[in-house]
Amino acid sequence: MQKTAKLALADGSVFTGTAFGADGEVHGEVVFNTSMTGYQEILTDPSYCGQIVTMTYPQIGNYGIVPEDVESSGIALQGFIIRELCEIPSNYRATQTLDEYLKAAGVIGLQGIDTRALVRKIRTVGAMTGVLSTEDLDDESLVKKAQNSPQLAGQDLVSQVIPQSACEWEEGLSELAQSSSTHSFAGNMIDTLAENEDNTDCDFHIVAIDYGMKWNIARHLKQLGCKVTILPGNCTAQDVLDLNPDGVFLSNGPGDPEPLTYAIETIRGLLGKVPIFGICLGHQLLGLACGCKTFKLKFGHRGANQPVVNQDTGQVEITSQNHGFAIDPESMPDDVEITHINMNDNTVAGLRHKTYPAFSVQYHPEASAGPHDSHYLFQQFFDSIKQAQVSS
């Protein structure tokens, strides 16, 4: 029998549809993702912690759930909203339906609402707090709860998703990922996998600081031929330096970067001592450590076809993105420069320190899901480590 579920937003609107996945009630910031595929990678991306995610693509679940395609050990997002759930997936790799997966993970799903209307509202008003419930179906009560839910800005959500302890990461890219990368159409980009042949003579040690890292990033770092040690996002600069790394990677992660003062302090303690590469939250934290400020975007960038222009080459990369905050270009000190710009709204998509070997991007070169145009950034990190060894 079909069960009703409702989404109420802080602006007073209520969307009524059908429940799938688990029962219950959650609150979070309601955001949308425009990717046509990749719902499993989105569900398991820890950067969505604290958010209720709506997919704009109209049918979700049609290729089921594949155990090898997860990006972390669980689901950190609060709730999942779609137009239509596919109940009979068609995929030889799938072992479960999306409905079964969300039920087992205790995540509430809502389907059958007008997701276009919801997305247009978010685009007009901005990302808002909302409540998703299968228990309380009273509109007035739900709207009140949505209005009283905590705002995402100002919270430290990283502490909810960082690993408990350090570990060594051993897994490279899967055969499937390698073959799809080799056959990608990013013809004029440096092919990371082909370049790896040259990396085998270098025994570099990369420390990846994990603020809620997507596993495909760790796989890419391993694929460079490096030893990869993962440290929890609350580590100190001394913890990192004690491992004597050749390079430090700063991961993606959830929420507002500004309250993460411990992470900013750690990065300040590493700047100039070791080459640094940051992705998404890692990019924002590197910017903050260099003296930049961040601000909240109206509704963020979440999707797999965000065009970014590389300021060095003039080439456009089609990128995978998931962020709600960005670096304020006005706040950029003289020793930091912009390397990439988002072509949709001209926001900062990449930066580099002018004297220290440190660079970062606001988007996701590891894709998962998304295009492979930006894989070259991993090799760029490797090359910056090599360069630092030569000049030291």
Ligand X SMILES: NC(=O)CC[C@H](N)C(=O)O
Q: Which is nearer to ligand X, 40 or 133 (CB)?
A: 40
Q: Which is nearer to ligand X, 223 or 251 (CB)?
A: 251
Q: Which residues lie closer than 8 Å to 170 by C-beta, 6 or more apart?
A: 222
Token digits of residue 209:
């600081």
For residue 255, say whether it is annotated as part of any ligand binding site. Answer: yes
Compute and round to an integer the Cα radius of gyration of the chain. 21
Least distance between ligand X and beta carbon 299 (Å): 11
Question: Per-residue contact track with ligand X, 20 to 59, x per CB under 6 A?
Answer: ---------------------------x------------
Least distance between ligand X and beta carbon 283 (Å): 8
Angle formed by the axes of helices 261-268 and 281-289, to 10°?
60
Q: Which residues lie closer than 8 Å to 273 by C-beta, 6 or more apart?
A: 241
Least distance between ligand X and beta carbon 330 (Å): 18
Which one from 280, 323, 353, 375 is the annotated catalytic residue? 280
Q: Report the distance separating Cα 70 and Cα 75, nearest Å.
A: 9
Pick one of 19, 264, 276, 280: the residue that binds ligand X (CB under 6 A): 280
Q: Which is nearer to ligand X, 111 or 306 (CB)?
A: 306
Q: Which is nearer to ligand X, 103 or 296 (CB)?
A: 296
Q: Which is nearer to ligand X, 5 or 152 (CB)?
A: 152
Which one from 283, 366, 372, 375 is the annotated catalytic residue? 366
Interface region with ligand X, contact rule CB under 6 A, candidates 58-66, 133-141, 161-169, 249-257: 249-257
Interface region with ligand X, contact rule CB under 6 A, candidates 124-132, 141-149, 321-329, 379-387: 321-329
- Cβ–Cβ under 8 Å, residues 284 and 254: no
Q: Report the distance separating Cα 256 and Cα 235, nearest Å.
A: 18
Nearest CA to 25 out of 112, 127, 122, 138 is that of 138
Q: Report the distance separating Cα 53 and Cα 33, nearest Å.
A: 7
Q: Report the distance separating Cα 202 and Cα 208, nearest Å.
A: 18
Least distance between ligand X and beta carbon 253 (Å): 5
324 makes contact with ligand X (CB under 6 A): yes
Pick one of 17, 89, 254, 371: the residue that binds ligand X (CB under 6 A): 254
Annotation says 280 is catalytic: yes
Q: Report the distance separating Cα 362 and Cα 366, nearest Å.
A: 12
Q: Which is nearer to ligand X, 102 or 281 (CB)?
A: 281
Annotation says 366 is catalytic: yes
Least distance between ligand X and beta carbon 207 (Å): 18
Which one from 27, 364, 372, 375 is the annotated catalytic residue? 364
For residue 322, say whether it is annotated as part of any ligand binding site. Answer: yes
Question: Per-residue contact track with ligand X, 281 to 320, x per CB under 6 A?
Answer: x---------------------------------------
Annotation says 235 is catalytic: no
**Range 129-188, binding ligand X (CB under 6 A):** none
Strand order in the sheet with 336-342: 167-169, 227-232, 205-210, 247-250, 276-279, 358-361, 348-353, 336-342, 294-310, 316-327
Strands (DSSP E) along 255-368, which ranges? Answer: 276-279, 294-310, 316-327, 336-342, 348-353, 358-361
Q: How far is CA 178 from CA 103, 169, 196, 217, in A?
A: 32, 18, 12, 14
- Cβ–Cβ under 8 Å, residues 375 and 220: yes
Q: Report the distance separating Cα 5 and Cα 25, nearest Å.
A: 9
Residues that bind ligand X (CB under 6 A): 47, 252-255, 280-281, 322-325
Residues with catalytic function: 280, 364, 366
Residues at the binding site for L-glutamine are: 47, 253, 255, 281, 284, 322, 324-325
